[in-house]
A and B are shown apart, each in its own frame.
Chain A
Amino acid sequence: DAGVTQSPTHLIKTRGQQVTLRCSPISGHKSVSWYQQVLGQGPQFIFQYYEKEERGRGNFPDRFSARQFPNYSSELNVNALLLGDSALYLCASSSPGARGYEQYFGPGTRLTVT
């Protein structure tokens, strides 16, 4: 089975622009979470969606938004980009089971804001 996929792999944007990142979960997984990982730090939780509803939101400004589609794929949008938004954005999918909500991470999208 395919793992979590993310697109694009790399992205370069200019300050003030908007960006959309995409994530496809593992088949059968209904929960998608987004994380931001700045270089040298641990990932920080941004959003979680389950069954197309927002179930959790981290401490990020309103410039960050997300949604989940009927096929459980998800998009993360960031408006008015700042230099500090440069990071690796990770998507994780999960499904309840014996291992709880273990999250399987995608390869990430590396965003560079210049």
Chain B
Amino acid sequence: ELKVEQNPLFLSMQEGKNYTIYCNYSTTSDRLYWYRQDPGKSLESLFVLLSNGAVKQEGRLMASLDTKARLSTLHITAAVHDLSATYFCAVDLYYGGSQGNLIFGKGTKLSVKP
């Protein structure tokens, strides 16, 4: 059974600081997704990582994927209040051929304070 573990589950940061969220998964997969969710809202796609060593950046967020270690990271640079949200990583259920069945971690609730 594929398991996806995120840590930390809760993260309180000060504006301007850097931090990393970790996502470990238990079996091989060639697709890793990061989503953002604001309270009471749906999921917003942030990154899709498709291969080992993939790195993508958007604004203050950067995501990377190490398929050998079964680890993805979401790095936050110089956090601002607008980044406060819950961040989920998700992995495809099937290796080598996605069938669009994502297994999600429990999420990391990020709070950025002035």
Interface residues, chain A, CB within 8 Å of chain B? 31, 33, 35, 41-45, 48, 50, 55-56, 58, 90, 92, 94, 99-108
Contacts and interface: CB of A to CB of B under 8 A. Distances in A.
B106 interface: yes
Contacts of A108: 42
B22 to A, nearest CB: 15
Contacts, number: 71
Interface residues of B, number: 25
Contacts of A31: 100
21 contacts: A33-B101, A41-B106, A42-B4, A42-B88, A42-B90, A42-B104, A43-B102, A43-B104, A45-B101, A45-B102, A45-B103, A55-B99, A99-B48, A100-B31, A100-B92, A101-B92, A102-B45, A103-B100, A105-B42, A105-B43, A106-B42
B100 A55 contact: yes
